[in-house]
């Protein structure tokens, strides 16, 4: 009989250091889908928009890992972090203001696995940019492992991060 092996953060970081396109989710290692041009462009565009809009008020963290103890180290497409130096340790839930997943081929993966993981960690807000349907899903107010608020924005509507009232981002 085969048994699953669940990795902890330290073990994952030791064994998979330097391995590209993998992330640890709930103790299991997942291979990430290759990034296509539409996905890459949207991440680059959002990175620029947030950097210009926020300046030094947040660290814009594109496609880098975050630590969600005890068994997860996902790599969201974009994160907005509290301003500080992350040169010695990866951001953890208390550092994270907003996470963004850009989904084209990962639509079956991100909403069912990553969003609940973010809610369980207490991340106050997560956005899912659905490239196929051209919709932005805004999730807020995590409680008991789920986001209790879900709003869908249509093309032309601007998104306003919870942590930065008045900052409007043209996501489409």
Q: Is residue 75 part of a domain?
A: yes
In a domain, 42, yes or no: yes
The answer to whether residue 59 sits within a structural domain is: yes
Q: Which CATH number belongs to the domain containing residue 98 in this structure?
A: 3.90.1570.10
Q: What is the pLDDT of residues 19-66, one digit of tens each?
A: 989 999 999 999 988 899 999 999 999 999 999 999 999 999 999 999
Asked if the structure places residue 125 within a domain, the reply is yes
Angular region, 34: left φ>0, alpha ψ -120 to 50, beta rest: beta
Number of domains in the chain: 1
CB atoms within 10 A of CB 37: 7
Per-residue pLDDT tens over the stretch 70-120: 999 999 999 999 999 999 999 999 999 999 999 986 666 677 889 999 999
Domain range enclosing 84 = 35-153
pTM for the predicted model, two decimal places: 0.92
- Predicted confidence at residue 111, as pLDDT, reads 76
């Amino acid at each position: 009989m085969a048994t699953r092996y669940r990795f902890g953060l330290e073990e994952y970081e030791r064994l998979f250091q330097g391995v590209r396109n993998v992330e640890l989710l709930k103790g299991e290692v997942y291979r990430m889908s290759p990034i296509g041009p539409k996905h890459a462009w949207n991440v680059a565009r959002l990175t620029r928009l947030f950097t210009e809009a926020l300046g030094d008020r947040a660290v814009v963290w594109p496609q880098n890992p975050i630590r969600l103890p005890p068994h997860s180290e996902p790599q969201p497409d974009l994160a907005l972090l509290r301003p500080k130096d992350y040169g010695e340790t990866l951001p953890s839930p208390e550092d994270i203001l907003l996470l963004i997943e850009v989904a084209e081929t990962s639509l079956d993966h991100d909403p069912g696995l990553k969003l609940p993981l973010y809610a369980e960690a207490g991340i106050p807000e997560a956005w899912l940019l659905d490239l196929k349907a051209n919709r932005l899903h805004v999730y807020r107010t995590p409680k008991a492992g789920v986001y209790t608020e879900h709003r869908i924005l249509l093309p032309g509507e601007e998104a306003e991060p919870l942590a930065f009232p008045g900052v409007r981002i043209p996501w489409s």
